[in-house]
Amino acid sequence: MDLKGKTALITGSGRGLGKSIALTLARMGANIVLNDIANSDSVDQTAIEFKNSGYNVLVTKGDVRNPDDVETMINKAVEVFGGIDILVNNAGITRDTLMVRMSLEDWNDVLDINLKGAFLCTKAVARVMMKQRSGKIINISSVAGLMGNPGQANYSASKAGLIGLTKTTAKELASRGITCNAVAPGLIKSKMTDVLPDKVKENYLNNIPLGRFGTPEDVANVVGFLASSLSDYITGQVINIDGGLVM
Protein backbone atom coordinates (compact mmCIF):
# COMPACT_ATOMS: atom_id res chain seq x y z
CA MET A 1 0.00 0.00 0.00
CA ASP A 2 2.69 2.44 -1.08
CA LEU A 3 1.66 5.84 -2.47
CA LYS A 4 5.09 7.47 -2.64
CA GLY A 5 5.20 10.04 -5.46
CA LYS A 6 1.38 10.05 -5.82
CA THR A 7 -0.83 13.05 -5.16
CA ALA A 8 -4.22 12.75 -3.48
CA LEU A 9 -6.94 15.41 -3.35
CA ILE A 10 -9.54 14.89 -0.62
CA THR A 11 -12.53 17.24 -0.57
CA GLY A 12 -13.98 18.36 2.77
CA SER A 13 -10.85 17.18 4.57
CA GLY A 14 -10.57 19.77 7.34
CA ARG A 15 -12.09 17.38 9.84
CA GLY A 16 -13.95 14.09 10.27
CA LEU A 17 -13.70 11.26 7.77
CA GLY A 18 -11.93 13.44 5.19
CA LYS A 19 -9.15 14.32 7.62
CA SER A 20 -8.74 10.71 8.64
CA ILE A 21 -8.59 9.61 4.97
CA ALA A 22 -6.01 12.33 4.24
CA LEU A 23 -3.90 11.16 7.18
CA THR A 24 -3.99 7.54 6.04
CA LEU A 25 -2.99 8.47 2.48
CA ALA A 26 -0.23 10.74 3.84
CA ARG A 27 1.12 7.88 5.96
CA MET A 28 1.14 5.75 2.80
CA GLY A 29 3.44 8.38 1.27
CA ALA A 30 1.13 10.50 -0.89
CA ASN A 31 1.35 14.27 -1.32
CA ILE A 32 -1.88 15.60 0.16
CA VAL A 33 -4.16 18.32 -1.21
CA LEU A 34 -6.60 19.34 1.52
CA ASN A 35 -9.82 21.13 0.62
CA ASP A 36 -12.60 22.66 2.68
CA ILE A 37 -14.95 25.63 2.58
CA ALA A 38 -13.47 29.15 2.60
CA ASN A 39 -14.24 29.92 6.26
CA SER A 40 -12.99 26.58 7.59
CA ASP A 41 -10.41 27.06 10.37
CA SER A 42 -10.15 23.33 10.85
CA VAL A 43 -8.48 22.81 7.47
CA ASP A 44 -5.72 25.30 8.38
CA GLN A 45 -5.22 23.48 11.68
CA THR A 46 -5.14 20.11 9.89
CA ALA A 47 -2.53 21.45 7.43
CA ILE A 48 -0.32 22.59 10.33
CA GLU A 49 -0.61 19.14 11.96
CA PHE A 50 0.32 17.45 8.68
CA LYS A 51 3.29 19.77 8.07
CA ASN A 52 4.53 19.19 11.64
CA SER A 53 4.43 15.45 10.95
CA GLY A 54 6.59 15.99 7.87
CA TYR A 55 3.92 15.31 5.22
CA ASN A 56 3.76 17.20 1.90
CA VAL A 57 0.55 19.18 2.06
CA LEU A 58 -1.25 21.89 0.12
CA VAL A 59 -4.47 23.63 1.19
CA THR A 60 -6.95 24.65 -1.50
CA LYS A 61 -10.03 26.19 0.08
CA GLY A 62 -13.14 26.34 -2.05
CA ASP A 63 -16.72 25.22 -2.43
CA VAL A 64 -17.13 21.96 -4.37
CA ARG A 65 -20.45 23.31 -5.73
CA ASN A 66 -18.69 26.13 -7.49
CA PRO A 67 -17.10 25.23 -10.87
CA ASP A 68 -14.61 28.12 -10.64
CA ASP A 69 -13.47 27.05 -7.16
CA VAL A 70 -13.06 23.48 -8.37
CA GLU A 71 -11.06 24.57 -11.41
CA THR A 72 -8.76 26.72 -9.24
CA MET A 73 -8.30 23.86 -6.78
CA ILE A 74 -7.32 21.36 -9.47
CA ASN A 75 -5.00 23.82 -11.26
CA LYS A 76 -3.24 24.68 -8.00
CA ALA A 77 -2.72 21.00 -7.14
CA VAL A 78 -1.27 20.26 -10.59
CA GLU A 79 0.95 23.34 -10.43
CA VAL A 80 2.40 22.37 -7.03
CA PHE A 81 2.60 18.57 -7.31
CA GLY A 82 2.62 18.03 -11.10
CA GLY A 83 -0.58 15.94 -11.30
CA ILE A 84 -3.41 14.32 -9.36
CA ASP A 85 -3.45 10.54 -8.96
CA ILE A 86 -6.22 10.09 -6.40
CA LEU A 87 -9.46 12.01 -5.92
CA VAL A 88 -11.63 11.33 -2.88
CA ASN A 89 -15.06 12.98 -3.17
CA ASN A 90 -15.75 13.24 0.55
CA ALA A 91 -17.31 16.70 1.12
CA GLY A 92 -20.86 16.22 2.29
CA ILE A 93 -23.58 17.63 4.51
CA THR A 94 -26.90 16.57 6.03
CA ARG A 95 -30.08 18.62 6.42
CA ASP A 96 -32.33 16.00 8.00
CA THR A 97 -36.08 16.35 8.32
CA LEU A 98 -39.12 14.39 7.21
CA MET A 99 -39.89 14.84 3.51
CA VAL A 100 -43.22 16.59 4.08
CA ARG A 101 -41.38 19.29 6.03
CA MET A 102 -38.27 19.43 3.83
CA SER A 103 -37.69 22.82 2.21
CA LEU A 104 -36.49 23.14 -1.35
CA GLU A 105 -33.41 24.85 0.05
CA ASP A 106 -32.60 21.80 2.22
CA TRP A 107 -33.04 19.55 -0.80
CA ASN A 108 -30.92 21.73 -3.09
CA ASP A 109 -28.08 22.32 -0.59
CA VAL A 110 -27.60 18.60 0.03
CA LEU A 111 -27.87 17.56 -3.62
CA ASP A 112 -25.57 20.42 -4.69
CA ILE A 113 -22.77 19.65 -2.26
CA ASN A 114 -22.99 15.86 -2.06
CA LEU A 115 -23.72 15.05 -5.71
CA LYS A 116 -23.10 18.05 -7.99
CA GLY A 117 -19.85 18.73 -6.10
CA ALA A 118 -18.62 15.19 -6.80
CA PHE A 119 -19.60 15.53 -10.47
CA LEU A 120 -17.69 18.83 -10.85
CA CYS A 121 -14.56 17.50 -9.11
CA THR A 122 -14.64 14.23 -11.07
CA LYS A 123 -15.07 16.06 -14.38
CA ALA A 124 -12.19 18.45 -13.67
CA VAL A 125 -9.85 15.75 -12.35
CA ALA A 126 -10.71 13.36 -15.20
CA ARG A 127 -9.05 15.82 -17.61
CA VAL A 128 -5.78 15.52 -15.68
CA MET A 129 -6.01 11.75 -15.14
CA MET A 130 -6.88 11.04 -18.78
CA LYS A 131 -3.65 12.75 -19.84
CA GLN A 132 -1.73 10.70 -17.25
CA ARG A 133 -3.61 7.56 -18.36
CA SER A 134 -4.02 6.56 -14.73
CA GLY A 135 -5.98 7.55 -11.65
CA LYS A 136 -8.16 6.43 -8.77
CA ILE A 137 -11.45 8.12 -7.94
CA ILE A 138 -13.19 7.19 -4.70
CA ASN A 139 -16.65 8.47 -3.79
CA ILE A 140 -17.87 8.54 -0.20
CA SER A 141 -21.46 7.37 -0.45
CA SER A 142 -23.47 5.99 2.50
CA VAL A 143 -25.64 3.06 3.47
CA ALA A 144 -28.46 5.65 3.38
CA GLY A 145 -28.05 5.61 -0.41
CA LEU A 146 -28.59 1.84 -0.43
CA MET A 147 -31.44 1.40 2.02
CA GLY A 148 -33.02 4.87 2.42
CA ASN A 149 -33.53 6.47 5.79
CA PRO A 150 -36.50 8.33 7.30
CA GLY A 151 -35.67 12.05 7.51
CA GLN A 152 -33.00 11.81 4.82
CA ALA A 153 -34.83 12.06 1.47
CA ASN A 154 -32.26 14.60 0.27
CA TYR A 155 -29.21 12.83 1.72
CA SER A 156 -30.15 9.30 0.64
CA ALA A 157 -31.01 10.54 -2.87
CA SER A 158 -27.62 12.28 -3.10
CA LYS A 159 -25.76 9.19 -1.89
CA ALA A 160 -27.70 6.86 -4.23
CA GLY A 161 -26.91 9.32 -7.04
CA LEU A 162 -23.21 9.05 -6.15
CA ILE A 163 -23.41 5.29 -6.75
CA GLY A 164 -24.80 5.89 -10.26
CA LEU A 165 -22.09 8.47 -10.86
CA THR A 166 -19.45 5.96 -9.65
CA LYS A 167 -20.57 3.25 -12.08
CA THR A 168 -20.80 5.61 -15.07
CA THR A 169 -17.41 7.15 -14.27
CA ALA A 170 -15.93 3.64 -14.00
CA LYS A 171 -17.32 2.67 -17.42
CA GLU A 172 -16.37 5.92 -19.18
CA LEU A 173 -12.80 6.12 -17.85
CA ALA A 174 -11.73 2.46 -17.63
CA SER A 175 -10.05 2.51 -21.05
CA ARG A 176 -7.81 5.37 -19.80
CA GLY A 177 -6.51 3.35 -16.86
CA ILE A 178 -8.72 5.16 -14.34
CA THR A 179 -10.78 3.28 -11.74
CA CYS A 180 -13.73 4.65 -9.81
CA ASN A 181 -15.25 3.03 -6.74
CA ALA A 182 -17.49 4.06 -3.86
CA VAL A 183 -17.56 3.22 -0.19
CA ALA A 184 -20.81 3.18 1.75
CA PRO A 185 -20.10 3.82 5.44
CA GLY A 186 -22.74 2.99 8.01
CA LEU A 187 -22.84 4.86 11.29
CA ILE A 188 -19.37 6.29 11.84
CA LYS A 189 -18.42 8.28 14.97
CA SER A 190 -18.08 11.91 13.81
CA LYS A 191 -19.45 15.43 14.26
CA MET A 192 -22.09 14.56 11.63
CA THR A 193 -23.45 11.65 13.69
CA ASP A 194 -22.81 13.07 17.19
CA VAL A 195 -25.96 15.15 16.76
CA LEU A 196 -28.25 12.15 16.16
CA PRO A 197 -30.79 11.50 18.95
CA ASP A 198 -29.79 8.67 21.35
CA LYS A 199 -32.84 6.65 20.29
CA VAL A 200 -31.71 6.67 16.65
CA LYS A 201 -28.16 5.63 17.67
CA GLU A 202 -29.53 2.82 19.85
CA ASN A 203 -31.71 1.59 17.01
CA TYR A 204 -28.72 1.47 14.66
CA LEU A 205 -26.60 -0.34 17.23
CA ASN A 206 -29.23 -3.06 17.63
CA ASN A 207 -28.99 -3.72 13.89
CA ILE A 208 -25.20 -3.79 13.53
CA PRO A 209 -24.00 -7.43 13.73
CA LEU A 210 -20.47 -6.37 14.75
CA GLY A 211 -22.05 -4.50 17.68
CA ARG A 212 -20.30 -1.15 17.44
CA PHE A 213 -20.25 2.09 15.47
CA GLY A 214 -17.48 2.52 12.93
CA THR A 215 -14.49 4.81 13.33
CA PRO A 216 -13.13 7.24 10.72
CA GLU A 217 -10.09 4.92 10.53
CA ASP A 218 -12.34 1.98 9.52
CA VAL A 219 -13.35 4.06 6.48
CA ALA A 220 -9.87 5.45 5.79
CA ASN A 221 -8.32 1.96 5.69
CA VAL A 222 -10.64 0.85 2.87
CA VAL A 223 -10.13 4.12 0.98
CA GLY A 224 -6.36 3.55 1.33
CA PHE A 225 -6.74 0.14 -0.28
CA LEU A 226 -8.88 1.57 -3.12
CA ALA A 227 -6.29 4.33 -3.66
CA SER A 228 -3.44 1.81 -3.89
CA SER A 229 -2.35 -0.48 -6.72
CA LEU A 230 -3.65 -3.46 -4.71
CA SER A 231 -7.12 -2.56 -6.02
CA ASP A 232 -6.11 -2.18 -9.68
CA TYR A 233 -8.63 -4.78 -10.93
CA ILE A 234 -11.59 -3.31 -9.02
CA THR A 235 -13.80 -0.64 -10.58
CA GLY A 236 -17.45 0.44 -10.41
CA GLN A 237 -17.92 -1.22 -7.01
CA VAL A 238 -19.54 -0.11 -3.78
CA ILE A 239 -17.91 -1.41 -0.60
CA ASN A 240 -20.02 -1.21 2.53
CA ILE A 241 -18.15 -0.27 5.73
CA ASP A 242 -20.94 -0.75 8.21
CA GLY A 243 -20.25 -3.65 10.59
CA GLY A 244 -22.71 -5.76 8.61
CA LEU A 245 -25.68 -3.38 8.84
CA VAL A 246 -26.53 -3.92 5.16
CA MET A 247 -26.02 -7.37 3.67
Ligand X SMILES: NC(=O)c1ccc[n+]([C@@H]2O[C@H](COP(=O)([O-])OP(=O)(O)OC[C@H]3O[C@@H](n4cnc5c(N)ncnc54)[C@H](O)[C@@H]3O)[C@@H](O)[C@H]2O)c1
From 100-108, 121-129, 171-179, 189-197, give the range in contact with ligand X by CB under 6 A. 189-197
Chosen residue from 24, 90, 235, 240 binding ligand X by CB under 6 A: 90
Residues 6+ apart with CB under 8 A from 122: 87, 89, 137, 165, 169, 180
Strands 57-59 and 86-89 come out as unpaired
Min dist CB 188 to ligand X, Å, is 3
Count of residues touching ligand X (by CB under 6 A): 29
Chosen residue from 25, 113, 115, 120 binding ligand X by CB under 6 A: 113
Catalytic residue among 55, 155, 204, 233: 155
End-to-end CA distance of the chain: 27
For the question of residue 155 being annotated catalytic, the response is yes
Rule CB under 6 A: say whether 140 interacts with ligand X: yes
Nearer to ligand X, 167 or 176 (CB): 167
Min dist CB 193 to ligand X, Å, is 4
Chosen residue from 8, 16, 157, 182 binding ligand X by CB under 6 A: 16
> Using CA atoms, how far apart are residues 69 and 178, in angstroms rounded to an integer?
24
Residue 33 · residue 81 · CB < 8 Å: yes
> Using CA atoms, how far apart are residues 14 and 45, in angstroms rounded to an integer?
8
Angle at CA of residue 181, ends 178 and 185, nearest 5°: 155
Strands 31-34 and 57-59 come out as parallel
Rule CB under 6 A: say whether 135 interacts with ligand X: no
From 9-17, 44-52, 71-79, 122-130, give the range in contact with ligand X by CB under 6 A. 9-17
* Residues in 64-83 that interact with ligand X by CB under 6 A: 64-65
Min dist CB 96 to ligand X, Å, is 12
Rule CB under 6 A: say whether 212 interacts with ligand X: no
Chosen residue from 138, 187, 220, 226 binding ligand X by CB under 6 A: 187
Chosen residue from 10, 24, 26, 63 binding ligand X by CB under 6 A: 63
Rule CB under 6 A: say whether 93 interacts with ligand X: yes
Q: Catalytic positions, please?
A: 155
- Where on the chain is the footprint of ligand X (CB under 6 A)? 11-12, 14-18, 35-37, 40, 63-65, 90-93, 113, 117, 140, 142, 185, 187-188, 190-193
